[in-house]
Chain A
Amino acid sequence: MEIAAVAVPILVQIAALALFFMGAGMFVVLLKGCFVLRRMARSTPRDYKEVLLKSPMVPAVSTIAIPRDASEESRQFTRRLLDLHFGRNEVVIVLDGPNETELETWIRELRLTASSRPVAEDLPMAPVRGVYESRDPIRVVVVDKESGGVADSWNAGVNAASSPVVGILEPENEFEPMVLLRLIQPMLESYEDTIAVCGVAPPPPAEGMAAQFGALESLRAWLTRCAAYSERNMLLPIPGCGVLVRRDAVIHAGGFTGGKLELFMRLHALALAAKKPYRIAFLPQPVSYRRVPDNFTDLRRMVMRDQREIAAAYHNRSFIAGPWGWQALRELYCARSVRPKLEMALYLLAVFGLVAGWVDVYLALLVLLSTVAMGMVLSMGAVVLREVVDPNSADPKRMAAMFFAAIPENFGYRQLRNLWLIAGFRGQAGRERKGSGKTAQGRPSEAAVSSQKK
């Protein structure tokens, strides 16, 4: 008991200080992100979408869609892709083991007819059952294949794509019809070196607590994972981003092993191993963003999905990116895995210590300061820094609403989010251990990265 009486306050103190310094580090990253965005805002070229729309020199793009089913929502999403404004945009729809009814629905929806168009086998994928093209004058290719999972479907999409650039947009994102024209511009600025472009902005603020918390979440990720990381050319995609990536780069990387995050890690790793100049460009404009959640269930789904993707990338880091895996993910790992666990352990210890009389009120205040107060400062900082970067982004009332949403965010939601993050990370770890992950097929080996280095 006596040992506990001495050990608990010391542990609480150490953990609180560690969290305080992590928070301070995070604030520095946010600041860095702000400086990067400010610099980009001053040097970003004008928008030339009208000229790019008409020019035959702009490379063609194949936009890939992986609809989960043949529901109205999925069909609407493919319609949105077909409505994109771009000179040469081909939509590749990959149906991952659809049943007859679903296939029939797609055939009716897009007026499909069987096509002799080949599907390359550059990347491993489940067997293709059929390829269809529309009888209407729309550039759409539908690949019907055996079920193989999400990564397998992305690979099939890349195989079927006939364009040198592949577009990746997701159904839960809001994107403008000009998204491809805006995304291709940074690629054209340095076509030889640019292997991918990632365009995203935080969602516009919306009414409701869940929406505000979701917007704050996206805002922090945008400032750190996109802006701050892009300074050292280590950009990692966040939920909501629209991506253009060169098809040859995806094929060289061995294709998708999971989501976009894993693909980007792999691209970084191969380019670093090859020691050739490369660039993954960041477009901090509202070309695409994740819809803000309507309620807390939606918010939870959003947080968990992102966390699972990070966890999968972390668990496969050496497999995907060799020695660069840790380099790319170390800060994310600290923020998304170490911090929530440490913070929850600290709360438990502090409460237990308070009840037992081992932790005095000053130490308890220190705990609150390094968790809740630090969280508020970070969220408020993100709102203010965003406004510093782009003064035209929001109206003052909405900005104020978001600024003050940082207070309730850190009382209750923060702790709940910690639990979601821990569950998300652990859940993915379990899945990886069981080997039932979606990424097993066609995963590039560590040797591939190493061989690039040689």
Chain B
Amino acid sequence: MTRIELSVAALLLGGYALFLVAIFGAVWVRASKRQREAAEAESVAPQVREALVEYLAGSNLQTRIREFVASHRSAVADGILSFQGTVAGSARDRMCDLALDLNLVHEWCKDAQSRDPVARRTAYARLAFVCAYEPCRRVAGDLLAEALHDDDREVRLPAARALVQAGNIQEIGQVFQIAVSQSMLIRILLTEDLRRHAPELCESVVPEALKSRDSRELVPALQILVAWERALPLSGVLELLQHRDREVRIEALRLAPLVPPAKEIQSAVLRDLTDPDPELSTVAALSAGRMRLQEAMASLARCVRTGTAELARIAAAALAEMPPRGWQTLQELAGGPNPTAAAISSQALARARQKAGV
């Protein structure tokens, strides 16, 4: 009996071991090959880049680049892509034209239909860069617009970024809608790209989005606007400051310093300073400071005296933003009977003075 068990166990383990040794051999060969290829690519990459830089600098000699395309096609594609974010205008167009000339763009369009998700993603990432150039866009056709509805997020994202770069306002609006409706990661990644189109978007796309009755759409839209951190020609913020959903109100309060000043908006911020919800009043204090709301000084002083420690600190920081009256108020609070308020006020005052070099 034991001998049978031993034989079975030995057979099974032997089988495992043989299987593992075989895989080990295969993996070892593959790893060695990859190591060689990586070393080669590492040595070729600077030469490819050098050739591309020469081409960008005005040289029309493509012989060297064509040689690289024949021997290290992927290295050339990576080299072209490495200029993303560093070249713009005519230099970028020249680079895209080269990719078109070398037949790389057609190849990437073909790869975009691949079943291999990694190949597709790479293809779209490359197309996203070159499609800023009109002739390349013509070759790509509707690929990018269709990719906006792809199941793979890593395909949707480069397509959306490419459309923001070179699309018309309708397409950019579509990207804004995607940013609003998808995950926070996508929102963050698209927000920066959309920022430079803020004025056009504020004409129709954003006001339309802000009319939504669904807080799940409103909050992300407001988050994008706040993250743009730039003056926005927007109206209709007052309604959002009075919204029934506190999350919407909080984001609208954050947005208040970025929209054209209006008496009603200032009043809404002042009102929220005294709101019993500590988060709401804290954000209101933050906005009051950014808006330099002189009318808010009394409320801010009260927040320093009676608010939660977090609110008191923010209110003190807001007062510190409004010299000389804000500083005077802080000085009075620093000498007051409430030890916490006094400590917070003197710290805020000291920081403000240090910042101002006084």
Contacts and interface: CB of A to CB of B under 8 A. Distances in A.
A383 B27 CA distance: 10
A344 B347 CA distance: 64
Nearest to B10: A369
Contacts of B27: 384, 387-388, 391, 399
Interface in A38-70: 42-43, 45-46, 48, 51-52, 54-58
Contacts of B262: none
Given A57-B227, A396-B32, A396-B35, A13 B2 contact: yes
A36 interface: no
Interface in B69-118: 117-118
Q: Looking at chain A's contact residues, is the secondary structure mostly helix, strand, loop, or mixed?
A: helix
B117 A43 contact: yes
A403 B32 CA distance: 15
Contacts of A436: none
Given A116-B343, A188-B183, A399-B28, A55 B117 contact: no
A395 interface: yes
A190 B9 contact: no
A392 interface: yes
Contacts of A51: 188-189, 192
A396 B183 contact: no
Interface residues of A, number: 54
Nearest to A385: B23
A392 B340 CA distance: 57
Contacts of A360: 2
Contact of A116 (B32, B188, B189, B347): B347
Contacts of B226: 56
B218 to A, nearest CB: 16
A273 to B, nearest CB: 26
B185 interface: yes
B183 A191 contact: yes
Nearest to B193: A51
B31 A396 contact: yes
Nearest to A118: B309
Contacts of B139: none
Contacts of A374: 13
B6 A54 contact: no
A377 B31 contact: no
B223 A57 contact: yes
Contacts of B347: 115-116
Contacts, number: 123
Contact of A369 (B13, B35, B344): B13
B192 A391 contact: no
B227 A381 contact: no
A363 interface: yes
A189 B183 contact: yes
Scoring A185, A365, A381, A384 by chain B CB atoms within 10 A of each residue's CB, the highest score goes to A384
Contacts of A56: 226-227, 229
B231 interface: no
Contacts of A45: 153-154, 157, 185
B298 interface: no
A185 B227 CA distance: 18
Interface string A366-380: 100110011011001
A395 B31 contact: yes
Contact of A396 (B16, B28, B153, B344): B28
A86 interface: no
B77 to A, nearest CB: 16
A377 B17 contact: yes
A117 interface: yes
A191 B10 CA distance: 50
A384 B17 CA distance: 11
Contacts of A138: none
B200 interface: no
B92 to A, nearest CB: 19
Interface in B28-46: 28, 30-32, 34-35, 38
A388 B23 contact: yes
Interface string B1-27: 111011001101100110010011001
Contacts of A394: 31
Given A54-B192, A56-B227, A117-B309, A391 B344 contact: no
B329 interface: no
Contacts of B266: none
Given A43-B117, A55-B227, 15 more contacts: A48-B185, A54-B192, A56-B226, A115-B347, A116-B313, A376-B17, A380-B17, A380-B24, A387-B27, A387-B31, A391-B27, A391-B31, A396-B31, A396-B35, A400-B28
20 contacts: A9-B2, A16-B5, A17-B5, A27-B16, A48-B185, A54-B192, A55-B188, A56-B227, A57-B227, A116-B309, A188-B185, A188-B188, A362-B6, A363-B6, A369-B9, A377-B20, A384-B20, A391-B30, A391-B31, A396-B35
Interface of B: 1-3, 5-6, 9-10, 12-13, 16-17, 20, 23-24, 27-28, 30-32, 34-35, 38, 117-118, 121, 125, 153-154, 157, 183-185, 187-189, 191-192, 223-224, 226-227, 229, 308-310, 313, 340, 343-344, 347
Q: A-B pairs with the 4 shortest C-beta distances?
A: A118-B309, A188-B185, A116-B343, A387-B27
